[in-house]
């Protein structure tokens, strides 16, 4: 069966302190499932499209419950693998009265063993769109090789793709990130990155020049985000800006993935790129206005947000 989106990467069990706004003093936690790529898959599913997500999970209870969480959102997980490593986790505070602080438990995790052979031509060619991120590149060398392989095969098979720079400084240095991510930021339909991420990977944060550079590399739609500030984009060399909806930010974690998912869904629905970007900003703002990566994801059908949202 043809799916609208195929994506892969590391999902995390996120433990969020619930009785205080500090992991140092908390004694109670809530657990949710999240992760850049799975967030995008769920965003598309909420908008009525078919998404398939691949990862490697440990043979543990965290793996069990996370796979169930993802499947409950309507995302296909039939290709996931279980391996004799631990399932990754994150511990964080809610960020209500103090800045969000994150601790990772992921080095040597099950998902860090993802390798190019996991991502078959069948997985890619059965999708209308393939989405990848720099986080998978950061968790291991084999993960980076899997991303490079997937983007190369997607282009060869005529499947549109996207790449989110998604720099995670807790996982690697700026130098290592730039060396790996720079060559991958080319020949995709949709390139996404924050101002600081473009500066690390492209060597500049000047929006007009760096986005033009991305277009020249074969990235049809290149976007530079900056929180709730105007989103800068270049579509086939045409520069412009979009002002995101103004909301009271409750929890910004996951809003970037919601933007990406909302935009990809819009493009798959047949929207022109600018309309799709505007839909993406609505998705991102909605998630930022609520607590949790999936809580505020808008619903819709055929890739389009319901107007009564």
Give 17-52 pLDDT, tens digit per residue: 999 999 999 999 999 999 999 999 999 999 999 999
Give 149-194 pLDDT, tens digit per residue: 999 999 999 999 999 999 999 999 999 999 999 999 999 999 999 9
Give 191-228 pLDDT, tens digit per residue: 999 999 999 999 998 999 999 999 999 999 999 998 88
Confidence band (pLDDT; 50, 70, 90) for 105?
very high
Query: Domain locations in the chain?
Result: 3-305
> For the chain, what is the mean pLDDT?
94
Give 106-124 pLDDT, tens digit per residue: 999 999 999 999 999 999 9
Asked whether the beta carbons of 162 and 263 are under 8 A apart, the reply is no
Average pLDDT over residues 265-290: 94
Residue of 32, 12, 29 lying closest to 106 (CA atoms): 12
DSSP notation for 249-307: -S--TTHHHHHHHHHHHHHHHT--HHHHHHHHHHHHHHHHTSSSTTTT---EETTEE-T
Sign of CA dihedral 199, 205, 211, 213: negative
- The phi, psi pair for 270, rounded to 5°, reads 105, 5
Give the pLDDT confidence score for residue 265 in this predicted structure: 98
Angle at 161 between CA 122 and CA 138, to 5 degrees: 95
Going by their DSSP bridges, the two strands 89-92 and 12-17 should be labelled as: parallel
Going by their DSSP bridges, the two strands 221-225 and 190-194 should be labelled as: parallel
Share of the chain above pLDDT 70, in %: 99
Share of the chain above pLDDT 90, in %: 86
**What CATH code is assigned to 3-305?**
3.40.1190.20
Confidence band (pLDDT; 50, 70, 90) for 125?
very high
Asked whether the beta carbons of 29 and 15 are under 8 A apart, the reply is yes
Res 309 pLDDT > 60: no
Asked whether the beta carbons of 46 and 70 are under 8 A apart, the reply is no
Average pLDDT over residues 286-296: 81
């Amino acid at each position: 069966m043809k799916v609208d989106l195929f994506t892969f990467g590391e999902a995390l069990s996120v433990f969020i302190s619930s009785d205080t706004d500090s992991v140092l003093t908390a004694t109670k936690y809530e657990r949710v499932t999240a992760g850049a790529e799975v967030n995008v898959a769920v965003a598309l599913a909420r908008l009525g499209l078919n998404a398939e997500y691949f990862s490697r999970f440990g043979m543990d209870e965290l793996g069990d419950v996370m796979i169930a969480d993802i499947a409950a959102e309507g995302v296909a997980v039939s290709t996931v693998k279980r391996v004799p490593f631990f399932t990754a986790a994150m511990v964080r505070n809610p960020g209500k009265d103090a800045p969000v602080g994150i601790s990772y438990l992921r080095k040597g995790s099950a998902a860090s063993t993802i390798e190019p052979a996991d991502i078959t031509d069948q997985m890619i060619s059965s999708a209308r769109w393939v989405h990848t991120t720099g986080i998978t590149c950061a968790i291991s060398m084999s993960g980076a090789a899997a991303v490079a392989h997937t983007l190369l095969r997607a282009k060869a098979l005529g499947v549109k793709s996207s790449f989110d720079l998604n720099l995670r400084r807790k996982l690697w240095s700026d130098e290592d990130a730039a060396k790996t991510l720079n060559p991958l930021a080319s020949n995709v339909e949709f390139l996404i990155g924050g101002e600081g991420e473009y500066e690390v990977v492209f060597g500049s944060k000047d929006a007009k020049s760096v986005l033009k550079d991305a277009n020249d590399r074969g990235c049809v739609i290149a976007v530079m985000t900056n929180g709730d500030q105007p989103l800068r984009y270049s579509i086939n060399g045409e520069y412009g800006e979009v002002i995101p909806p103004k909301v009271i930010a409750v929890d910004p974690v996951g809003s970037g993935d919601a933007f990406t998912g909302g935009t990809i869904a819009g493009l798959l629905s047949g929207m022109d790129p600018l309309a799709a970007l505007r839909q993406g900003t609505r998705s991102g703002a909605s998630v930022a206005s609520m607590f949790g990566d999936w809580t505020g994801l808008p619903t819709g059908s055929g890739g389009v947000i319901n107007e009564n949202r």
